Amino acid sequence: MSDIVSCGRPVAPGREVGAMRWLVMGAGATGGYVGGRLAAAGIPVTFVARGAHLAALKEHGLRLHSRLGDLHLPVHATDRPADAGPVDVVLFAVKSYDTEAAMAQVADAVGPGTAILCIQNGVDNEERLAARFGAERVLGGAIRIEATIAAPGVIVHSSPFARLEFGPWAGPAGPREQTMLADLTRAGIDAALVEDARRAVWEKFLFLCSAAGVTSVTRATIGEVLSCPESRELFQQAVSEVAAVAAARGVDLGGDAVARTMAFVDGLPPAMRTSMQRDIEQGRRIELDALSGAVVRYGRAAGVPTPAHAFLYAALRPAALAAERAYAAPAH
C-alpha cells in the first residue's frame, strides 16, 4: 500500500524536519489515534501492537474514521519496541493492567534522552514509570476521547473532541516539551502543555473513573445514566468521592470540581459509552483496579469514605475476575 490519505486529502510522505521520533507503546484506539495523526503529518512513528491488530497494521496500514477527518496510511508496526531503537518519545498507552509487562518490554527503546508520555487511564501509572525510568523522563497526560478498535487495523473516533493535556511529572517544562507540543500541533491534535500534570490527570480521573464504573454497572449510555435521577445521583456521588480523595492526596481540583465535572458530562453526546463498558460487554479484561479500585484503596489509606466506588468495585469484580480467568486460559 503506497497511498496516504488524510482528511480526504493526499499527504506528502517523508519525515517532517525537526520532528521527534515517537514510539506508540500500545497502539489501541487511543494510542492509535494519536500515533496515526502524527504519522500522517510526516512525523516518524513506530506502532507497538499484537495479534490480529498488528497483522492488519502491517498488511493494510492504519485506517482511522473520525469526525475530525479520516485517514488511511501505511505504518511501521511491530511487537518488539527494540526494533525502533532508542526513540525521542514513548507514548505509553497500554491498558493499566499491562503496565508492568509493557515497562519491561519498552526498556530497549528508552535511550538517554527519551521522554515517556503516559496517557493511560488511572492516577498511579506515572509514579510506576518514574520508579522504573526516573521522574525526569516522565510526563503525565490526560486525553479526552471516545475511540474504539472497530476491526483489526481500523480505529473509529466517535466523539466530537480529542483533547490532550500533558506536562512534566517533575520539574518545569523545557525545550523537549515544547518540541513535543509542536509535533502534536503540527499533526492537528488539540494539545496543550500544562504546568500541573498531576492536576490534569486527576481532573480527567474525576470524570473517567466515575463514568466507567456507573456505565459498566448499569450497562447504559452516559445519557441514560444522567437522565435517570437515581443513577445520576450515584454518578455525582462517585465524582464527589474522587474529588475528596484527590484533596486528601494533596491535589487541589478546586471547590467547584464536582459541579464542573457534572457540567462537562451534561454536554457529552447522550449515546456515549465508556471503553470499560464495552470491554465488559465483550468479555475482555477491565481496568477496575486502576479506577474504582484505586479510589477505594486511596480513600481507605487517607480515611476518606468511598461508598459509591466500593459498591462499583464490588459489583464489577466478578466480571473482572471472569475475564482474567479467561485471559489466563491455555489459549493465551
Q: What is the DSSP string of 194-252?
A: -S-HHHHHHHHHHHHHHHHHHHHHHT--HHHHHHSHHHHHHHHHHHHHHHHHHHHTT--
Read off the DSSP letter of residue 300. H
Instruction: Please give the angle made by the CA atoms of 115, 70 and 270, to the nearest 5 degrees.
Output: 90
Query: Residue 8: its pLDDT value, please?
Result: 32
- Residue identified by cell 527503546 is 109
The fold of 200-318 is: N-(1-d-carboxylethyl)-l-norvaline Dehydrogenase; domain 2 (1.10.1040)
Spatial CA neighbour of 77 closest among 59, 100, 91:
59
Among the four given CATH numbers 3.40.50.720, 3.40.50.150, 3.40.309.10, 3.90.650.10, the one describing domain 5-195:
3.40.50.720
Give domain limits for the chain.
5-195, 200-318
* Averages of pLDDT over each 10 residues, the chain, 332 residues: 34 54 97 97 97 97 96 97 95 97 96 97 96 97 94 95 96 95 96 97 96 97 98 98 98 96 95 93 95 98 98 98 90 55
**Residue type (1 letter), 300:** R
Residues in the chain: 332
Q: How far apart are CA 331 and CA 326, in angstroms?
A: 9
Report the pLDDT value the prediction gives residue 309, as an integer from 0 to 100.
98
In the chain, % helix, strand, coil (3-state, to 5) comes to 50, 20, 30
The amino acid at residue 83 is: D
Are 225 and 215 in contact, with CB atoms under 8 Å apart?
A: yes
Helix (H), strand (E) at residue 149: strand 147-151
The identity of residue 19, as a single letter, is: A
Q: How many helices (H) and strands (E) does the chain have?
A: 12, 14
pLDDT of residue 330: 72
